[in-house]
Amino acid sequence: MTPKDKATQLVDTYLELGKDFTRGVSMQEFSKECALIAVDEIVEAMKFNRWQNRNEIEYYQEVKQEIENI
């Protein structure tokens, strides 16, 4: 995926989320969804060197669980 394609994908993802926000989704839920998207992006980037980043991947998976519990 090119940098331009990735940028478009991210903007489109948040755009769809924003549509839900305008339909009455709370700011808390909106913020949680944004944070979950960010964590997923971090984990996905770290998977390219999975063996080097295994501790960080585990950490961010725990972060994701904590976000979901908020």
Round to whole Å and give the CA distance between 1 and 5: 6
Task: List pLDDT tens digits, range 16-32.
Answer: 877 766 667 777 888 88
Distances (CA, A) of 36 to 18, 44, 60: 14, 12, 10
Round to whole Å and give the CA distance between 38 and 52: 20
Q: Is the pLDDT of residue 64 over 90?
A: yes
Task: List pLDDT tens digits, range 6-16.
Answer: 889 988 888 88
